[in-house]
Structure 1
Amino acid sequence: MIYKTEAGEREILRRYEQTLASWPVPAERRRVPTREGDTFVLVSGPAEAPPLLLLHGSGSNATMWMGDITAWARHFRVHAVDMIGEPGLSAPSRPPLDSTAYALWLDDVLDHLELERTAIAGASLGGWLALDYATRRPGRVESLALLCPGGIGRQKVGFLFKALLYKPFGRWGMLRSIKAVAGVDPRTMPEIAEYLAVMFTHFLPRRDRLPVFGDEALRKLTMPVLVIIGGRDAMFDSHDTARRVNRAVPHATVTLLPDVAHSIVGQTQPILDFLRSSR
């Protein structure tokens, strides 16, 4: 069970459908059968364009990429995946993170979509998933663009205490928690804050710590790699992430945004430039 109540699940999916209706470019809805259950994929962009796979963060779904899709779909055949076990239209399955299960699941997704090799962009948990796949299947990954990825720098625990601190204070506390943990200010990003408030009112996020990739695994990232991280990230130690990537993946491009928290926006063009230059 990944939702607190059946009514909460219905509310999240209702809002998701509303948002999908305003997807800014033409898109095909695909349901991909996998060993973990059906996986929902939103496909946009020219059929003949090079493929790009998108993996969103925890507590999110394909709508995370609405601000990016218009630019990216001009140059790529974009496959925005609803990750399993998250509040989207894919199966609620949550196999152990410290296993081959997620790589096998993505094998099924790529095989069904007939993608022998693809660029991947991932954020937070989606960044961890992209790394897990790229270290296990480097031959299937054309390039890798990561926003605040988990699994490299030290995972902080202080954000959990902040979330618990605000929990008794209802909606006000939820919005304060979102600002403290994700760095999303309701005054400057009201739509994103409202979306997250609905999600975490009804959704049960994963509680297990993300497995950390060793240097040996990171050295398998021979494809072009871009890592964008925020200096004020409350969930991951971004400076530790930068140090480890620079040491183990010296050809990678690491961009540290000193005044940015865990939620990173406004990187549509830098990521597009990187993906196009990596072809």
Structure 2
Amino acid sequence: MSTIYKSEAGASEIQRRYQEVLRTWPVPAEHVRVPTREGETFVLVSGPIDAPPLLLLHGSGANTAAWRDDITSWSRHFRTYALDLIGEPGLSAPSRPPLASDAHALWLDDVLEGLGITSASIVGMSLGGWLALDYATRRPERVTRLALLCPGGLGRQKMGWLVTALLLHPFGRRGVRRSVGAITGLDTPQARPILDQVALTFTHFKPRTERLPLFSDDALHRLTMPVLVTVGGRDAMFDSEGTTRRVRQCVPHATVNLLPEVGHAILGQADSVLAFLRG
């Protein structure tokens, strides 16, 4: 695991905090470990065993804790499978195969097979949104509904946030916190606990530096399932207007929600996503 962390001590601190979250999960959950070609994948499973399956894919620098505020609502109606993405600060393998390949789709094939799932709805956030899109364009028959929050791969990926992060990095934890606040848009009193957790993670974690590949128009035309895309008008990482424009052009049946005053981190969407999933 040290390959994705700056130190063993930092890795231990992040894992300790994560275990605390798992111990206080708001609904009953099973901890499942699925063997895959990329190594073991940790899955947090909640909800009625006979309910429709819902796959949850978090963003970069995160883990299943990203869904803590949503899981109570969603798990009433779905069998939820929250994955720790490989190569991220959760309990899955640190493997990071190239994004510009079919490696992640093959990894998700393995996960679904290990869970006994033939098709599912997917909710993906940021990097998880990119992975959900990648899978849905390659395996459209396996995705029943697709809900994307601030997804990558549609609009231009901005790099100004990287300059901000580099300028503030020499200021230690305080600098990391300021840069994370600027990038996510979470620098408000209400979001301070979440911001503190993200800042702690990026103090010790080495994020991916690989640019997310853009999906072609032809690939997006393969999205025949119902699609919901929610983006923030002040997203510092992705061009939300470009994302909105491409979705409306290439996936005309999709529902697009542009939240003008929201940054990259989109919170409080449990009800709107649930309404779409139950459509």
TM-score normalised by L of structure 1:
0.98
Q: Distance in 1 between matches of 2:24 and 2:114?
A: 26
Percent sequence identity is 65
Residue 122 of structure 1 is matched in structure 2 by 124
Q: Distance in 2 between matches of 1:174 and 1:29?
A: 31
Matched, 1:247 2:245: no
Q: Deviations over 1:126-153 (max 9, x none)?
A: 0000000000000000000000000000
Shift in Å at residue 186 of structure 1?
5.0
Residue 32 of structure 2 is matched in structure 1 by 30
Residue 236 of structure 2 is matched in structure 1 by 234
Q: Deviations over 1:161-197 (max 9, x none)?
A: 0111111112221121011111111523121011101
Residue 106 of structure 1 is matched in structure 2 by 108
The residue type equivalent to 1:164 in the other structure is: L
Q: Secondary structure at the match of 2:236?
A: coil
Contact 1:175-1:186 within 8 A present in 2 as well: no
The residue type equivalent to 1:235 in the other structure is: M
Q: CA RMSD in A?
A: 0.6
Contact 1:221-1:249 within 8 A present in 2 as well: yes
Residue 77 of structure 2 is matched in structure 1 by 75
Residue 7 of structure 2 is matched in structure 1 by 5
Query: 120-129 or 173-182: which moved more?
Result: 173-182
The residue type equivalent to 2:43 in the other structure is: V
Q: Distance in 1 between matches of 2:152 and 2:21?
A: 27
Q: Distance in 2 between matches of 1:146 and 1:92?
A: 24
Shift in Å at residue 58 of structure 1?
0.1
- Runs of 5+ consecutive residues of structure 1 not aligned to the other structure: none
The correspondence of residues 51-200 of structure 1 with structure 2, limited to 5 A, is 51-185=53-187, 187-200=189-202
Q: Deviations over 1:59-91 (max 9, x none)?
A: 000010000000000000000000000000000
Contact 1:121-1:146 within 8 A present in 2 as well: yes
The correspondence of residues 191-210 of structure 1 with structure 2, limited to 5 A, is 191-210=193-212
TM-score normalised by L of structure 2:
0.98
- Runs of 5+ consecutive residues of structure 2 not aligned to the other structure: none
Contact 2:42-2:83 within 8 A present in 1 as well: yes
Q: Distance in 2 between matches of 1:193 and 1:179?
A: 7
Q: Which aligned runs of 4 or more in structure 1 are off by greater than 4 angstroms?
A: none
Q: Find the partner of 1:44 among 35, 46, 59.
A: 46
Q: Distance in 2 between matches of 1:201 and 1:145?
A: 30
Q: Secondary structure at the match of 1:18?
A: helix
Q: Deviations over 1:183-215 (max 9, x none)?
A: 111523121011101100100000010000010
Q: Deviations over 1:193-251 (max 9, x none)?
A: 11101100100000010000010000000000000000000000000000000000000
Query: 71-80 or 179-188: which moved more?
Result: 179-188
Q: Secondary structure at the match of 1:266?
A: coil
Q: Secondary structure at the match of 2:189?
A: coil
